[in-house]
Structure formats: structure tokens, C-alpha cells
A and B are shown apart, each in its own frame.
Chain A
Amino acid sequence: MRKMNMVQAINLALDQEMANDDRVVALGQDIGVNGGVFRVTEGLFEKYGEARVIDTPLAESGILGTSIGMAIAGLRPVAEMQFSGFSYLMFGQLEGHAARLRSRTQGAITVPLVVRMPYGGGVRALEHHSESHEATYGHVPGVKVVIPSTPSNARALLVSAIRDPDPVIFMEPKRSYRAFREEVSEEEQVMEIGKAQIVQEGTDLTVVSWGAVMRPTLQAVEEVRDQRGISIELIDLLTISPMDGDTISASVEKTGRCVVVQEAPRSFSPSSEIIATINDKALMYLEAPVRRVTGYDVATPYFGRESAYIPTNGRIRQAIEETIDF
């Protein structure tokens, strides 16, 4: 066990998978000699060489399109999009090919690849560097979308994503990259993709969140619990798609109340799908309307105004208390 931040934990996952399996290659912009703009791939170029840690030309569609070819030919590419805001240039390759080659060929051709991308706000960056658009990818059948929230689940989920037989969009909450450290085992660890995790058990209210806003959510949950003696079940979604509806609905059946916290814009988002799932499976157990704390349906503000856009501890607390008091 070693204390590490999320950058180090993701690096550990890449390093171990590249050591375990020579089919694994990493590619992207500035990921080799430079170790990535966030230093996530630091040291891999020196260890595995330029043929497996590939500094690509500056072309997002080219990175995913060639990754698809590599995967078809038996490699296990892990591509990096430098920022999720640049990733839309590869969307055609994702929707048109990565997501569909399995169904187009009835399983004869598969595309096991991972696209890593830092997403989300809170780092005072330029425009296009702060979006939380996981719903865009979650809407594509045939693609899995994973968002870790801590160093240890980032490490375990990335290992699982690399070993997964299908394309996985792995969105890394960049605000959490160096925000905190925790103990991460040097031993191999995996986590099942498609499973949400109950972080804290509780009986009065369910809170669902994921990614960087898990931290203010956890803080709000603890404050309400301590101050009002309320038992809250906190769920970390971890996989956006395919969503683990069963864990959420089982929890809501137990608690009868639910708050969803996301950084993403509100409409057509994971929270919309969570509420639809509760409607399908646990509607009759509800004692209050499901509340959500989200970003808004506006362009993600430039950083001067983003702190009021990203869900804050105060907004989350208020939603929890109002749902309890409903």
C-alpha cells in the first residue's frame, strides 16, 4: 500500500497493464516524451518505448480512428484525448465505428479500446477545458462510460476498462487528479464496470453522484447526518453507461427519497436517466419527488463564473434537507 493521488493511481494502472500484456499500447498528444499534459503517462515512454507509448499528430479523429484499426488487429489501445472538450472531433469514429463494429459484424470484429479523457471544471482553465458532457457519450449504444472518483477506484476501473472486450470512455475528473491522496494497493485490483458502489449505507434518503462532485456531496451528506441525525445512503455511480439501475432502485425502495448530484448540464443527462429508472422500478416507494442538483443548460461558464455553476456544498445540503422535510 502506498498513498497516491489519482494521477499516480492511473499511471500505476497503465504501467501494470502494459507490463502484463504486450498488446496494450498508449497513444495521444504529448503523452510520450512529455508524459501527458497532466503527467498521467509519466515514465511510460522510457519504460515501454515509442512503439507502445505513441506521441501522435494533433488529430482527435485520427487518434480514435487508428485506435480502432489497432484494436481490430489485436492490440489493446488506450487513447488519450487531451481534454474532453476536444473529443467531439472523434465523435464520428466513436458513433460510426467503435460503437458499432461488433453489431455490424455480429461479433466477428470487436473493438476493445479505452479512450481516457480529463473532464470537468474547477481548474481555472481556458474555454473547452471544463465541460462535463458524459451524457453525450452515455447515449451511444455499444459504448461504456466510466467516471472514477478516487485514486483507488480510478486505478481498478481503468484496469477493468483495458481488459473489457468493448470500447470504454474513461472520463477522469481533472479537479480530483491531485486533490487528495489515499492508500492504493500495489497488488492487482479490478472493479466491475456497470456496477454502482454504495459508499455509505443508510435508511432515510439516497444520494447518487459521481466524479468530482462526489467530494462536496460526501461532505454535505456527513454534515446533514451529523447535524440532524439522518441516515443517508450514498451511491457512487462509477459507470454512467450501462447504468446500474438495480442498485439505485433497490436503495430508493428502502429509503423512499432520493437526491441526484451531477456537474453535467441538466437536460437529457444521467440524472434524467436515474429519475426515469426510479420511475420504472421504484415509483410507488417514493415519499418525495426526486430532487437534483446539477449544472445548468448553458455553455459551461468560463472560470470566472464557474464556481456558481458547479454544484456546491450549500446547494447539495439544501436539496437533501428539502427532500427530507418534504
Chain B
Amino acid sequence: MIAKTCEPHTVDRQQPYALDLRERTFKISHLQILDEHGNLDAEREPDLSTEDLISLYRAMVLARAVDQRLLKLQRQGRIGTLPLCTGQEAASCGPVLAMTDKDWFVGSYRELGGRLMRGEPIENGFLLYNGYEEGSVFPGGERTLPVSIIIGAQTLHAVGIAYAMKIRGETDSAVVCFLGDGATSEGDVHEALNFASVWQVPVVFVCANNHWAISLPREKQTHSRTLAQKAIAYDIPGIQVDGNDALAMYQVTKDALDRARAGGGPTFVEAVTYRLMMHTTSDDPSRYQPPEQLQAWEARDPLSRFKSYLEAKGIWNDERQADLDAEIKQQIEDAVKAFEARKDFKPDAPFDHVFGTKVPRIEEQRAEFLDELRKESTDA
């Protein structure tokens, strides 16, 4: 379904010599299925069951509620610093609906909704952002990589995984890799796009353009008019999508995955969205963010438009919403309780995971660490 709408500019020897870029030679296509008011482009409506639509909506509502609960816990001093995902739910939940268990999820740190859909327990976020690596893994999560904090580095891992899928002939497996607008300035991302293109591996890059990299606005991150066009230089299809439209995010990912699995190579998706909250709990956007911009984007919320869509289809109403809110509230409360009841954090766990084999030098240091810990607690 994704055509190469942006054909690479091939050399045309008849073109008069000029260094003027005003004569643009490429176009970027754009996909929106559900607009900010919930109006549907019926021709492009994906063929999704009621069950799938509701599970997608549920995932976004859950992600929003967990995000807000994380923020509250942080403000109460019950957990540490964390990045917020509110406003970007559609940009990770839509793609994950298009993925299977055999596909790989290679994320950054603003894809809470997508991670929950991949089966990550709610408790994991509480654990991770309270400083425990236990929150980075979960049973069945072998193909869901942990949060990657260094900007853009994960894109190369995604390409390596995709290479492995290709040479092993795992044609039913592809990789979806998430990154942000700031990452497009990182060398690793350009290397990843280049390697992906040279190797023609099955990877879909989903670049959430949330307009801000902490305090740096999108227009100071890059002079390019779109992020999608960066793919053109690598001869990778680059497309811009309404990142707050879960249907469009689902559809574009599905099409790109189909293409990838069929041997069509990589795709780059610019998901235009907005960070409705601070970068992390340590950040104060009022120092740099124009309030009118925030208000404009609050009106384009991914959840409210999806709810209107479900209501218009006659599969959602206030009563169902109330039930869902109550169910999610309980689910989160249970996770908080489970998290706060956990006491099994072995202090010397870091010594267990330096290497896969026991190393005398590390074991000596472990013994010293435990001995000092014991002495300290005896002194106290």
C-alpha cells in the first residue's frame, strides 16, 4: 500500500545548473484517517474487528492513566525521575496493534502504551523508575527490548536484529524501531538508515516528532521541512503520518511490515505528535514552551478523537467508559500495591550480571561489598 511516493531525485543532466533549492524535486505523502474531531476518512478505514478497536482504545486509556499515576508517585516521592508519554499514546499503540509476537519491538523511552500492549506488566514502570532493573524485563518479552535512553542508539540494534531475521530466513519476523525527532540529529540514526538501506532489511522506523527535544524545538533540531524526507537520501520510503491518529499509525505500520516481510526493505515513518507534558519529571516546559502551542495540541488529543470514532460506530458509550475507567483504576492500584510490597531487591544483584561467567576479580569485590554492607548495618 505504501508506494514510493517520494521517488529519489535521480540525476537529470538536462537540468540547468543551479544551487537554488526553491525548485524542490521531491514530495512527502501524508496519512490521516481520523482527524482531530473524530471525522473518519471512510475509504481508508482499516479493516479492524470491534475487539481490536476496543483493545487499541483500552491500551491508550491505560497508558495515559499509568503515565499520570507515575507522575503522581514521583511527585509524592515514591519513585524517581521518569519520562512522560501523555499525548503520544497513538504513536506507539497503533504500531503495536499491527505487530505480531514474532516481530521485534525496539523502543526508546516514550512508548509506554506500546510496551503495555506487548505484555509488559504495569508494575514494570514503577520498578524501573524506582531504580530497579527488574522493571526492564518480563516473561514473554524476549522480543521487546528494554527502554533505551541514549538517543538514537537503538536504531542500529534494530537494523542488526533485522539483518539476523533476513539471513536466517525468518520471513514472518520484522522489527519496529521507535525514535524521536531529536534522534534524527544523531549520527547513529543516519548510520542505521544507511545500513538498513544497503542491507534491505525488514525494519520499520517510527519517528515520533513530538516537536520538542527537551527544550529544543523541532525547527532548531533540523532545517529540513519534514523528518520523513531524511529517508529519501537513503532511498528509503519516508512518509509523514498524523501520529495522534491511532488508525493511521496502525495502517502505516501494517503496510510497512507487510512490505518488509515480503522483502521490500525498510520504511521510515514520521509520526507527527506532541509531548503534552514535561520531558521528564525534572523538566519545566514553562521555560520554553509557548502556552498557545500546547493548547492547540491538547485539542488534537489522540484519545478523545478515538473515543468519538468508537461512539460514532455505536460500539462505545458513557457507561462502557465508566466501566473501563473503574477497571483500569483497580488494575493500577493492584500494580502499585504489588510494587510497594516488593522487598526482594538483592543488593549485590549488579555483581551477578557483569559477565555470564564467574570472574574472580568481580567475586572478590562482591565479597568486600557485602562485608562492608554488613558492617554498616551492624554499626547502625
Q: Which residues of A contact B (CB under 8 A)?
A: 25, 51-52, 56-57, 59, 61-62, 64-75, 77, 92-93, 96-97, 101-110, 141-142, 144, 164-166, 194, 242-246
What chain B residues lie within 8 Å of A142 (beta carbons)?
Answer: 354-355
**0 or 1 for each of B250-281: is its CB under 8 Å from A? (1 = yes):** 00000000000000000000000000000000
A109-B146 in contact (CB<8A):
yes
Q: Is the interface of B mostly helix, strand, loop or mixed?
A: helix
15 contacts between A and B (CB under 8 A): A57-B198, A59-B195, A68-B156, A69-B158, A69-B159, A69-B160, A69-B164, A97-B150, A103-B350, A104-B133, A106-B133, A106-B352, A165-B356, A165-B357, A166-B357
What chain A residues lie within 8 Å of B187 (beta carbons)?
Answer: 61
Chain B's closest residue to A73 (CB) is B164
**Number of B residues, CB within 8 Å of A:** 45
B362-A242 in contact (CB<8A):
yes
What chain A residues lie within 8 Å of B354 (beta carbons)?
Answer: 102-103, 141-142
A106-B349 in contact (CB<8A):
yes
How far apart are A170's CB and chain B's nearest CB, in angstroms? 16
A72-B133 in contact (CB<8A):
no
Asked whether A70 and B161 contact (CB < 8 A) given A56-B195, A59-B191, A166-B356, the answer is yes
How far apart are A261's CB and chain B's nearest CB, in angstroms? 22
Asked whether A61 and B161 contact (CB < 8 A) given A104-B146, A105-B146, the answer is no
The residue that B153 contacts in the complex, of A93, A106, A107, with Cβ under 8 A, is A93
Q: Report the bound CA distance from A52 to B166 in whole Å.
A: 12
Chain B's closest residue to A110 (CB) is B356
- Besides A57-B194, A62-B195, 13 more A-B contacts (Cβ < 8 Å) are A25-B167, A65-B155, A66-B156, A66-B163, A69-B164, A70-B164, A72-B160, A77-B160, A105-B136, A106-B349, A107-B353, A142-B355, A244-B360
What chain A residues lie within 8 Å of B161 (beta carbons)?
Answer: 69-70, 72-73
Q: Report the bound CA distance from A51 to B165 in whole Å.
A: 12
B137-A106 in contact (CB<8A):
yes
How far apart are B14's CB and chain A's nearest CB, in angstroms? 31
Asked whether A105 and B194 contact (CB < 8 A) given A66-B160, A165-B355, the answer is no
B residues 329-380 near A (Cβ < 8 Å) are 349-350, 352-357, 359-362
How far apart are A157's CB and chain B's nearest CB, in angstroms? 15
**0 or 1 for each of B185-209: is its CB under 8 Å from A? (1 = yes):** 0011001101100100000000000
Asked whether A59 and B194 contact (CB < 8 A) given A109-B146, A141-B354, A246-B360, the answer is yes
How far apart are B84's CB and chain A's nearest CB, in angstroms? 21
B157-A65 in contact (CB<8A):
yes
Q: Report the bound CA distance from A138 to B55 in whole Å.
A: 49
What chain B residues lie within 8 Å of A51 (beta carbons)?
Answer: 167
Q: Does B134 contact A (CB under 8 A)?
A: yes
Q: Report the bound CA distance from A217 to B191 in whole Å.
A: 42
